[in-house]
Amino acid sequence: MDKEKAYALLRQEKWRVIDQSSLGPMFGALQSFAMDDTLCTAVGAGESDPAARSWVHHRTVVLGIQDTKLPFLSDALGVLEEAGYQYIVRNSGGLAVVLDEGVLNLSLVFPDSDKGIDINRGYDAMWLLVREMFKDFDVEIEAKEITESYCPGSYDLSIGDRKFAGISQRRIRNGVAVQIYLCVNGSGSERADLIRTFYDTGLRGEVTKFTFPNIRPEVMASLSELLGVELSVADVMLRFLQALKSSSGEIYSSALQGGEYAMYEAYYQRVVERNDKVLK
């Protein structure tokens, strides 16, 4: 990791903060994708300061396109419905992820500079920020693939080889959104068990063209479980704002502004239509 380059991304003169972490169960995951696409476009065009967004979705499984290729997809989706989860298909890579009221999601949205933000640099910036958020705990937060987790990737964040977070990236119109889900409280292994059952049901032992993770629930945990302290989403949100403030000149709270509303509506319509098409 090139720490200096990663820190440079966090050291913005101003951070525009959009906190959607307490909007409740009516705030859907498709709305989040439209929000990040809107912010990417505004930040990429130089019409907005770099943005930091937080959000929470209730009992939602976010699927990747690859998940829709399961041979017994309708049966697998039935598992989620039976467990009381809704589901959507996201417009970026990756595989199934569980979101609920104990999972805090964060996005950092940067302009893609002339030389371009290298993919790892964006991931490293988020990793450094999370390390800063929990620096008062005597633990090492590693970034490496936890292969038997759900949605495994090279920037899974873990403590003692147990994963509590995954990072992804979305690039659109000269903007880069680096997104992370942080399992704050609740049972990481129960969330993982739901996705294991989803894959077992969707595959029924068939060999497929795509590789799906062989999930061991015990390799996943929440931060509360790993740190031995009961954390709330509000606790972690405060840590996020403090870490952001310590690395930048100014942070200020904001909602969408002016033309961003129309942009958001157009992006939202697009993600809804795309989601419906994929699930049909």
Decide: 255 and 53 in contact? Cβ < 8 Å: no
Strand-pair partners of 251? 15
* Model confidence pLDDT, tens digit, residues 212-233: 999 999 999 999 999 999 999 9
Instruction: Please state, in angstroms and as integers, the Cα–Cα distance from residue 162 to each residue in 141, 142, 183, following that order.
Output: 10, 10, 11
Q: Which of 108, 151, 167, 178 is catalytic?
A: 151
Give the pLDDT confidence of 51-72 residue by residue, as tens digits.
999 999 999 999 999 999 999 9
Q: Which amino acid is at 275?
A: N
pLDDT recorded at residue 114? 53
Encoded tokens for 89: 């298909």
Q: Of all residues in the chain, what percent carry a pLDDT higher than 70?
A: 97
Q: Would you say 15 and 50 are in contact if contact means Cβ atoms under 8 Å apart?
A: yes
Q: What is the pLDDT of residue 115?
A: 58
Query: What mean pLDDT comes out for the span 121-147?
Result: 96
Cα 125 to Cα 35, 74, 203: the distances in Å are: 21, 38, 36
Neighbours of 180 (CB within 10 A): 20
Q: At a CB cut-off of 8 Å and minimum separation 6, what does 10 contact?
A: 108, 125, 128, 129, 244, 247, 248
Q: Would you call 183 a catalytic residue per the annotation?
A: no
In DSSP terms, which residues pair with 176 in a beta bridge?
A: 110, 171
pLDDT for 116 equals 65
Instruction: Show me where the domains of the chain are located.
Output: 3-279
- Beta bridge mates, 105: 55, 181
Average pLDDT over residues 246-256: 90
Mean pLDDT, range 102-123, rounded to an integer = 85
Q: Name the CATH topology of 3-279.
A: BirA Bifunctional Protein; domain 2 (3.30.930)
pLDDT at 31: 96
Query: Residue 98: its pLDDT value, please?
Result: 98
The CA–CA distances, whole Å, from 14 to 4, 111, 120, 242 equal 19, 13, 23, 14
- DSSP states of 101-166: TTEEEEEEEEE--TT---HHHHHHHHHHHHHHHTTTSS---EES--TTSSS--TT-EEETTEEEEE
Instruction: Take residue 184 and report the two structure tokens written for it.
Output: 């704050």
